[in-house]
Amino acid sequence: MKQFFYNICIAFLLIAIITGCSRKNNSFISRNLHAVGTEYNVLYNGNLALQAGLDGLEQTYKDNYWDILPVERMTLKDQVFLPGEKPADPNFERAEEKAVKAVQKHSMLINETEYNPQVDEAYMLLGKARYYDQRFIPALEAFNYILQFMPESDQINQAKVWRERTHMRLDNNEIAIKNLSKLLKEEKGDIEQEDLAIANATLSQAFLNIEQVDSALLYMNRAERQTKNRETQARYKFITAQLFAKQGQRDSAFAHYDEIIDMHRKIPRRYYINAYIEKIKNFDDSQDSKVELLETITDLEENRENRPWLDAIYSRKAIYYENEDSIEGAKEYYNKSLRARNGQDRYLRGNNHSALGKISFDEAKFVNAGKYYDSAVANYVERTKEHRLVTKKRNNLEDVIFYEGRRRSADSIFKVLAMTPQEQAVYYQEYIDELKAEEERIAQAAEVEAAKEAQNQNAFQTIKGVTKRSKTGPSFSTPGSSIGTLKNTGSSFYFYNQQTVARGKVDFRRKWGKRDLKDNWRRKNKKEELETEVIDEQITEVEEVRPEFKTEFYTSTLPEGKIMLDSIAQSRNFAYYQLGVIYKEKFKRNDLAINRFDTLLTHDPEEKLLLPALYNLYLIYKEDGGSNAFAKAEQLKNKIISNYPDTRYAQILRNPEAKLDDSASPLAVYNRLYKEYEKENYEVVISSAENYANRFSGDDIVPRLELLKAFAAGRLYGFEEYKKGLDYVALNFPNTEVGKSAQKLASDAETIKIAEAFQPENNLKDFKLVYRFNTTDAIAMENLKNKLLEVFKNENYNFRVSVDVYNKDEKLVVVHGLNSKLGARGLGDLMAKPENNYNITKSFFAIASENYKIIQVYKNLDKYQKEML
C-alpha cells in the first residue's frame, strides 16, 4: 500500500515538472530550466562552431600593410548573399543552426515578452554567424530583432554596435556614424569597456571608409586605450600609427610603433615585425642614423624567427643599398626578396620587379628592363596607380627595345665585317667555346642532381628493406609522409629520373647534333643509305660536329654586297637617331641621348638625319647651362648656320625671337596635304606624301604621311591598294601609335570587307544616276553639275549632286536620292529630251547604292556595265 502511494506521488511530481517546463508557462522552474538548456547545451556548441569559423578566417586572411589596416581581419567576397541562401562556411552554418535551435526549442515569448534570458544570446550568435559568412542582410535582421523585441537585454549595446558594423558592410557608413555617435554620447557609462573599444574602433572604420582621416584617428586612438586584449590592442595601435603617418605626424606614428615593439612576445609577431618595417619605410636621413638603420635591418634579417617576413626585410635592405648607390647590393637583395619562400605579397613582388626594371634601364639593359616591368604589371592589381605607371613605362620601352636591338645587331655586323678572316674565326671560336662551356655546366648540374637522386633511391631501398625485416623483428618507426614521398619517386628505372634523362639528352645532342626521329637516324645522308648495300648489321657510329660548333656556320651568313650593307647602315643610323630622340624627349636621359646622337654623327649619316641630330644636341647642351656645355652648344649652332644656311634649323638659330616661318615644317606640310585629301586631289596627296616622307625621314610625321597616302591610294585605286598601304605602315612603323592604328585598320578592313559580286537590283530601294567623265573634262563636269542643280531647284526635286573620283583617269557626276532603277533611268531620259530644253545629252546609267560601293571599292565599273546593264 505504501509503495502504491509512493508511485502516485512520483507520477504527480513528474507531471508537475513537465507542465512547469512548458515554454508557455512563465514560472521560475520553466525560466531556469530553459535558460540552462540554452546556455550549456545549444549555445555552447554554437559558440564553439562560431569560434572554429573565426579561426578559419584568421588563418586565410592576409593583411595588406601597404594600406591602412581594417579593424576586422575578414576578406570580403564579391557577391552579397540574400535571405534564404545557405552559408558558405560549414562552421558558420552549424553556429546558425544551433542559434535557430535555441530559439525554436527554448524561446519563451509570452505576450510579446521574452522570458528566457538566453534567447538574446541566441540571436547575437545568429547575427554573428550570418555576419561572418557575409550574409549581411539576414544578419541585420537578427540584430534588429534584439533591439526591437528585447529592449531590456544586457546585450542591447553590443547588438547596436554589431548592427552598425553590418550597416558599414552594406556601405551605409553615414547611418553607422550617426547611430554609433549617438550610442557613445548617450550610453557611454552603461557600455562595458571591451564593447566601448569595439564601438570606437567601428566608428573609426566608418570615418575611414568615407576618407575622414582626422575623425578616424580620434576614435581609433580611444579604442586602443580602452581594450585590454593584447592582440586587439596591438592592431588598434598599428592602425593609429598608420593614421598618424598618413597625417604627416611622424613622431606620433613612431611612438606608437615603438609601443608595439615593446609588447614583443605578448602580441602576434606580425605586428611586431611590421612595426619595425613601417619605421624603416619612414626613415629620414636628416633625422635618423643610417648606421642604426642598417644595423636594424641586418638584425631583423639574421633573426630566425623572422623568416616568414624575409621578403619584406630583404626588400627594405635592397632599397637601403639603392639609396646608397650600391647597385649590386640592391640587385642582390631585390632578387633575394623575390626568391623568399614566403613571397606571397604580390604588391611587394611588383615593387621589386619595378625597382629591378628601373636599375636595368639605368644600366641601358632595356630588354631586361622590359621583362621586369612585364612581371611588375602581372603582380599589380589592374587599374591601380602603380599598374598604370609601370604599364606606361613598359609601353615607352617598346620603341627603345626595338631600336636598341636594331642598332646593336647592325653594330655587331659591321664590327665582324671589319675583321680579317683570321680574326673572324677567332671571334666566333670564342663564342663557340662559351656555348660548349654552358652546355658542360648544364651537364654537370644534371650529374649532381642525378647523384642526389641516386642517394634518395638508395635511402628508399634501405628503408624498404628495414621495413620488410621489421615484420618479424622489432618495430621500425618512420614518419609516414617521408615514406610516401620516397614511394612517389621510388622506381629505379632511369627514365623515371628526370635529371638522368636531361643528362642523356645533353650527351646525345653533343655527340649527334639535332636528328629527326626516324629509322637509321645515325646516317647523315639518306641518299647514301639507299645507295649503300648493308651487308653487316653492325653500323659504325661516326661522331659529327654540330653546325653551331663550326666557325663557318657563322661566317657564311655574313651579309655581302653594297646594296645590302647600305641598307643595314641606313637602318642603323635611323635607329641611333630615334633612340636619341626617345632618350631626350620621353625619358629625359640626356646622357644616353648625347651618346646616341654622337655615335650617329660618326657614321656619316644623310642630311635628313644629320641636321636634326645636330639641332637636338644643341638643345641638350643649351639646357645644361654649364660652361663646357655652353661652348659645345655655340659650336653646334655655328656649324648649322655655316654649313646649312637655308634650312629651317638655321632660320631658328639665326633669329630665335622672330616668328618662325613653319610653312615647310613637317606638321605644316601634313596639314596642307590633308586639305588636298579633303578636296579629293588624291594623286597630289600620293605623290607629295611620298616625296615628303623621304625628305622628313626620321621625323615623327613620316608614319602619318604614309597613312594619309594609304587612304588616298584606297580612294583612287581601290581596296587592295588601301590594304597594301596599311600593311606598309604597320610593318615599317610597328612601335608608333600610327603604326598600331594602321594594324588595327588592316584587321578591321579584312573583317568588314564587302563582297565583290554585284547584288541583284530588282528589290533594292536606293539608286543613283551616274555620268562618266574623263578627268581632263573638268569644265564639262562642272557645267553638268551646275545644270542639274539648277533644274532640280526649278522643278523642286529633292536630289543631291556630287562629283566623285573614280580613278586617276575618270570622275563621276552622281545624282543621289532615287528610289528605283526605273526612276533613275526616267530622270536621265527626262534630262535628255529636246522638248524639255534641258540640253543634257551626256550618256548615263542607273546603279543601286550597294553596287556603287562595290565599284568604288574594287574599281570594276566596266564589269558592272557589262554584266548589269
Longest dimension (CA), the chain: 144
pLDDT value, residue 578 = 86
Judged against a pLDDT cut of 70, whether residue 19 lies above it is answered with no
**For residue 124, what pLDDT is reported?**
87
Q: Is residue 866 classed exposed, middle or buried when 0-12, 13-18 and 19+ CB atoms within 10 A define those classes?
A: exposed
Q: Cα separation of 364 and 405, whole Å?
A: 12
**How distant is the alpha carbon of residue 201 from its chain centre?**
35
Q: Which of 281, 362, 355, 317 is nearest to 587 (CA)?
A: 362
Instruction: Indicate whether 176 pLDDT > 90.
Output: yes
pLDDT band at residue 331 under the 50/70/90 scheme: very high
pLDDT of residue 204: 95
The separation between the first and the last C-alpha atoms of the chain, rounded to the nearest angstrom, is 129
96-99 long-range CB contacts below 8 Å, 24 or more apart?
A: 96/126, 96/129, 96/130, 96/133, 97/46, 98/42, 98/43, 98/45, 98/46, 98/49, 98/125, 99/42, 99/43, 99/46, 99/123, 99/125, 99/126, 99/129
Taking the C-alpha atoms of residue 660 and residue 340, their distance in angstroms, rounded to an integer, is 60
pLDDT at 479: 35
Percent of the chain with pLDDT over 70: 79
- Every domain of the chain and the residues it spans: 1-57+64-154, 283-344, 666-751, 767-868
For residues 585 and 674, which has the higher predicted lDDT (pLDDT)?
A: 674
| pLDDT per residue as tens digits for the range 372-392 | 999 999 999 888 889 999 998
In this predicted structure, the answer to whether residue 21 has a pLDDT above a threshold of 60 is: no
516 conformational bin, left if phi > 0, alpha if psi -120 to 50, beta if neither: beta
By CB neighbour count within 10 A (0-12 exposed, 13-18 middle, 19+ buried), where does 445 fall? middle
**C-alpha–C-alpha distance, residues 370 and 361, integer Å:** 8
3-state secondary structure of 696: coil
Q: Phi and psi dihedrals of 848, rounded to 5?
A: -70, 150
Q: Are strands 109-110 and 113-114 parallel, antiparallel or unpaired?
A: antiparallel
In CATH terms, 767-868 corresponds, of 3.30.1380, 2.60.120, 3.40.50, 3.30.70, to 3.30.70
Task: Supply the pLDDT for residue 257.
Answer: 95
pLDDT the model gives residue 627: 77
Question: Which three cell numbers mark 784?
Answer: 553638268
What's the whole-model pTM score? 0.61
Say yes or no to pLDDT of 497 above 80: no
CB-hemisphere CA count at 13 Å for 696?
A: 22
pLDDT above 60 for 784? yes
Q: DSSP character for 768?
A: E
In this prediction, residues 51-55 reach a mean pLDDT of: 87
What span, in angstroms and rounded, lies between the C-alpha atoms of 110 and 23? 8
Between vectors from CA 70 to CA 235 and to CA 316, what angle results, nearest 5°?
A: 70
Kindly state which CATH superfamily the domain 666-751 is placed in: Tetratricopeptide repeat domain (1.25.40.10)
Mean per-residue pLDDT, 755-778: 90
Q: What is the pLDDT of residue 512?
A: 64
Model confidence at 215, pLDDT cuts 50, 70, 90, reads very high
pLDDT at 511 over 70: no
Average pLDDT over residues 448-475: 55
Per-residue pLDDT at 87: 53
DSSP H helices, 517-655, are 526-531, 551-555, 562-585, 590-601, 607-624, 627-643, 648-654
Residue with cell 618595417: 277
- Of 144-148, 329-333, 505-509, 754-758, where does mean pLDDT reach its minimum? 505-509
Residue with cell 632618350: 583
| pLDDT of 112 over the 60 cut | no
pLDDT value for 476: 31
Confidence check: pLDDT of 645 > 70: yes
Kindly report, residue by residue over 414-438, the tens digit of the pLDDT.
888 888 888 888 888 888 888 888 8
Are 666-751 and 767-868 in the same CATH fold?
A: no
Each residue's pLDDT tens digit, 526-576: 444 444 444 444 444 455 677 778 888 888 888 888 888 888 888 899 899
What does the pLDDT look like over 446-457, one tens digit per residue?
A: 777 777 666 666
Q: Give the lowest-confidence range in 112-121, 312-321, 537-546, 855-864.
A: 537-546
**What pLDDT does 701 receive?**
87
